[in-house]
Protein backbone atom coordinates (compact mmCIF):
# COMPACT_ATOMS: atom_id res chain seq x y z
CA UNK A 1 0.00 0.00 0.00
CA UNK A 2 1.23 3.44 0.81
CA UNK A 3 4.50 4.57 2.33
CA UNK A 4 2.36 6.74 4.56
CA UNK A 5 1.87 3.60 6.61
CA UNK A 6 5.41 3.96 7.85
CA UNK A 7 5.05 7.60 8.67
CA UNK A 8 5.74 8.46 12.29
CA UNK A 9 2.88 9.29 14.58
CA UNK A 10 3.23 10.89 17.98
CA UNK A 11 1.54 8.94 20.78
CA UNK A 12 0.04 10.73 23.77
CA UNK A 13 -1.30 9.19 26.93
CA UNK A 14 -4.65 10.19 28.38
CA UNK A 15 -3.04 13.10 30.13
CA UNK A 16 -2.06 14.42 26.71
CA UNK A 17 1.58 13.79 27.47
CA UNK A 18 3.84 12.60 24.69
CA UNK A 19 4.96 9.06 25.51
CA UNK A 20 6.12 7.49 22.31
CA UNK A 21 6.29 7.46 18.55
CA UNK A 22 4.78 4.73 16.42
CA UNK A 23 4.17 4.08 12.75
CA UNK A 24 0.96 5.14 11.06
CA UNK A 25 0.25 1.45 10.55
CA UNK A 26 0.30 0.86 14.29
CA UNK A 27 -1.64 4.07 14.97
CA UNK A 28 -4.40 3.04 12.58
CA UNK A 29 -4.58 -0.39 14.16
CA UNK A 30 -4.91 1.14 17.62
CA UNK A 31 -7.54 3.53 16.27
CA UNK A 32 -9.48 0.75 14.59
CA UNK A 33 -9.38 -1.37 17.75
CA UNK A 34 -10.71 1.52 19.77
CA UNK A 35 -7.53 1.77 21.82
CA UNK A 36 -6.64 5.22 20.57
CA UNK A 37 -8.18 8.36 19.15
CA UNK A 38 -6.77 10.76 16.63
CA UNK A 39 -5.76 14.15 17.99
CA UNK A 40 -6.16 16.84 15.39
CA UNK A 41 -5.37 20.53 15.66
CA UNK A 42 -8.15 22.78 14.45
CA UNK A 43 -7.79 26.16 12.81
CA UNK A 44 -8.53 28.01 16.06
CA UNK A 45 -5.57 26.36 17.78
CA UNK A 46 -7.53 23.90 19.89
CA UNK A 47 -7.46 20.12 19.54
CA UNK A 48 -10.21 17.70 18.69
CA UNK A 49 -10.22 13.97 19.15
CA UNK A 50 -11.74 11.52 16.69
CA UNK A 51 -12.55 7.88 17.11
CA UNK A 52 -12.21 5.59 14.12
CA UNK A 53 -15.65 6.31 12.64
CA UNK A 54 -15.35 10.03 13.15
CA UNK A 55 -11.91 10.05 11.60
CA UNK A 56 -13.15 8.00 8.70
CA UNK A 57 -15.94 10.52 8.10
CA UNK A 58 -13.54 13.39 8.46
CA UNK A 59 -11.18 11.79 5.94
CA UNK A 60 -14.04 11.61 3.46
CA UNK A 61 -15.23 15.15 4.02
CA UNK A 62 -11.81 16.67 3.77
CA UNK A 63 -9.70 14.67 1.37
CA UNK A 64 -6.02 14.94 2.04
CA UNK A 65 -2.99 13.83 0.11
CA UNK A 66 -1.73 11.76 3.01
CA UNK A 67 -4.45 9.18 2.84
CA UNK A 68 -4.41 5.45 2.65
CA UNK A 69 -6.70 3.82 0.14
CA UNK A 70 -8.01 0.40 0.78
CA UNK A 71 -10.51 -1.52 -1.27
CA UNK A 72 -13.39 -0.33 0.83
CA UNK A 73 -12.38 3.04 2.21
CA UNK A 74 -9.91 5.82 2.35
CA UNK A 75 -8.51 7.17 5.57
CA UNK A 76 -6.23 10.02 6.36
CA UNK A 77 -2.97 9.27 8.15
CA UNK A 78 -3.03 10.73 11.65
CA UNK A 79 -0.09 12.68 12.97
CA UNK A 80 -0.95 12.45 16.64
CA UNK A 81 -2.97 9.86 18.53
CA UNK A 82 -4.00 9.56 22.14
CA UNK A 83 -4.02 6.17 23.82
CA UNK A 84 -7.17 5.27 25.68
CA UNK A 85 -5.79 2.11 27.21
CA UNK A 86 -3.33 3.55 29.70
CA UNK A 87 -4.23 5.91 32.45
CA UNK A 88 -0.75 6.51 33.58
CA UNK A 89 2.68 7.11 32.30
CA UNK A 90 4.60 4.00 31.37
CA UNK A 91 5.71 2.54 34.65
CA UNK A 92 9.42 2.82 34.84
CA UNK A 93 10.93 3.55 38.14
CA UNK A 94 14.06 5.57 38.27
CA UNK A 95 16.76 3.34 39.67
CA UNK A 96 18.10 4.39 43.02
CA UNK A 97 21.70 4.94 42.01
CA UNK A 98 24.41 7.39 42.86
CA UNK A 99 24.23 8.73 39.33
CA UNK A 100 20.49 9.28 39.53
CA UNK A 101 20.80 11.07 42.85
CA UNK A 102 23.32 13.42 41.27
CA UNK A 103 20.92 13.83 38.38
CA UNK A 104 17.97 14.52 40.63
CA UNK A 105 19.91 17.05 42.68
CA UNK A 106 21.49 18.52 39.54
CA UNK A 107 24.99 18.29 40.99
CA UNK A 108 23.93 20.84 43.54
CA UNK A 109 24.80 20.66 47.22
CA UNK A 110 21.40 20.50 48.87
CA UNK A 111 22.64 22.52 51.83
CA UNK A 112 24.55 25.48 50.38
CA UNK A 113 22.94 25.37 46.94
CA UNK A 114 26.23 25.50 45.01
CA UNK A 115 26.90 23.38 41.95
CA UNK A 116 29.96 21.14 42.04
CA UNK A 117 31.83 18.60 40.00
CA UNK A 118 30.51 15.18 40.84
CA UNK A 119 33.84 14.17 42.32
CA UNK A 120 33.46 17.01 44.85
CA UNK A 121 30.05 15.89 46.01
CA UNK A 122 29.19 13.34 48.65
CA UNK A 123 25.97 11.58 49.27
CA UNK A 124 24.60 12.60 52.64
CA UNK A 125 22.07 10.82 54.84
CA UNK A 126 19.81 13.67 55.95
CA UNK A 127 18.91 11.77 59.10
CA UNK A 128 22.21 10.03 59.89
CA UNK A 129 22.32 6.33 59.28
CA UNK A 130 23.19 5.41 62.85
CA UNK A 131 20.17 7.43 64.00
CA UNK A 132 17.91 5.25 61.94
CA UNK A 133 17.96 7.29 58.74
CA UNK A 134 17.23 5.02 55.78
CA UNK A 135 19.18 4.89 52.54
CA UNK A 136 16.35 6.07 50.35
CA UNK A 137 15.40 8.73 47.85
CA UNK A 138 13.80 10.68 50.69
CA UNK A 139 16.84 10.60 52.95
CA UNK A 140 19.83 10.86 50.61
CA UNK A 141 20.98 14.12 49.10
CA UNK A 142 24.04 15.52 47.37
CA UNK A 143 26.27 17.49 49.67
CA UNK A 144 29.54 19.26 49.10
CA UNK A 145 32.45 18.22 51.26
CA UNK A 146 32.50 21.38 53.45
CA UNK A 147 28.75 21.09 54.16
CA UNK A 148 29.11 17.38 54.76
CA UNK A 149 31.91 17.99 57.23
CA UNK A 150 29.98 20.73 58.99
CA UNK A 151 26.85 18.62 59.28
CA UNK A 152 28.82 15.59 60.48
CA UNK A 153 26.67 13.16 62.38
CA UNK A 154 23.78 15.51 63.06
CA UNK A 155 20.37 16.16 61.67
CA UNK A 156 20.12 19.34 59.58
CA UNK A 157 18.26 20.96 62.45
CA UNK A 158 20.96 20.12 64.96
CA UNK A 159 23.62 21.42 62.58
CA UNK A 160 21.63 24.59 61.95
CA UNK A 161 21.45 23.75 58.26
CA UNK A 162 18.55 23.69 55.89
CA UNK A 163 17.89 21.60 52.80
CA UNK A 164 17.23 23.71 49.72
CA UNK A 165 14.47 21.28 48.77
CA UNK A 166 12.83 18.21 50.20
CA UNK A 167 14.37 15.09 48.67
CA UNK A 168 11.95 12.75 46.98
CA UNK A 169 11.79 9.90 44.52
CA UNK A 170 11.94 11.36 41.03
CA UNK A 171 9.18 10.64 38.58
CA UNK A 172 10.16 9.11 35.33
CA UNK A 173 10.38 11.49 32.42
CA UNK A 174 7.30 11.04 30.30
CA UNK A 175 9.20 11.46 27.09
CA UNK A 176 12.32 9.59 27.89
CA UNK A 177 12.35 6.93 25.20
CA UNK A 178 11.89 9.25 22.29
CA UNK A 179 14.86 10.57 20.45
CA UNK A 180 14.00 13.94 18.97
CA UNK A 181 17.12 14.26 16.90
CA UNK A 182 15.10 14.25 13.70
CA UNK A 183 12.78 16.65 12.04
CA UNK A 184 9.28 16.23 13.30
CA UNK A 185 5.93 17.31 12.04
CA UNK A 186 4.57 20.72 12.94
CA UNK A 187 1.50 19.15 14.57
CA UNK A 188 3.73 17.54 17.22
CA UNK A 189 5.20 20.80 18.33
CA UNK A 190 2.51 21.68 20.84
CA UNK A 191 2.85 18.37 22.65
CA UNK A 192 6.60 18.25 22.51
CA UNK A 193 6.79 21.74 23.95
CA UNK A 194 4.45 20.61 26.71
CA UNK A 195 6.61 17.55 27.32
CA UNK A 196 9.66 19.75 27.43
CA UNK A 197 8.21 22.11 29.99
CA UNK A 198 6.63 19.39 32.12
CA UNK A 199 9.74 17.32 32.46
CA UNK A 200 11.35 17.78 35.82
CA UNK A 201 14.92 18.54 35.02
CA UNK A 202 17.79 16.43 36.19
CA UNK A 203 15.83 13.25 36.68
CA UNK A 204 17.67 10.08 35.97
CA UNK A 205 17.77 8.39 32.63
**Which residues here bind Zn ion, judged by CB under 5 A?**
109, 111-112, 144, 147
Quote the least distance from Cβ 167 to Zn ion, whole Å: 15
DSSP the chain: --GGGGSEEEEE-TTS-EEEEEEHHHHHHHHHTTSEEEEEE-TTS-EEEE-HHHHHHHHHHS--SSEEE-SS-EEEPPSEEEESS-SS----PPP--HHHHHHHTTTB-TTT--B--GGGEEEEESS-GGGT--SSTTTEEEEEHHHHHHHTTS-HHHHT---SS---PPPPPTTTT----S---GGGHHHHHHHHHHSPTT---
Q: Which is nearer to Zn ion, 145 or 180 (CB)?
A: 145
Q: Which is nearer to Zn ion, 111 or 175 (CB)?
A: 111
Quote the least distance from Cβ 168 to Zn ion, whole Å: 20
Quote the least distance from Cβ 162 to Zn ion, whole Å: 11
Q: Which is nearer to Zn ion, 109 or 195 (CB)?
A: 109
Q: Which is nearer to Zn ion, 77 or 147 (CB)?
A: 147
Quote the least distance from Cβ 111 to Zn ion, whole Å: 5
Q: Which is nearer to Zn ion, 161 or 199 (CB)?
A: 161
Quote the least distance from Cβ 97 to Zn ion, whole Å: 21
Q: At what angle do helices 52-61 and 24-32 cross, to 10 degrees?
A: 120
Amino acid sequence: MSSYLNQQVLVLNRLWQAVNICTARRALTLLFQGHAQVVFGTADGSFRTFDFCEWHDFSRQEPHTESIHTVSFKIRVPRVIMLLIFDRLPKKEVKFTRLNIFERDRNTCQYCGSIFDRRDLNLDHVIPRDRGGPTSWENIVCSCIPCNTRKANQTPQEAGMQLIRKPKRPKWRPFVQVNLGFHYHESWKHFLDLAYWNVELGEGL
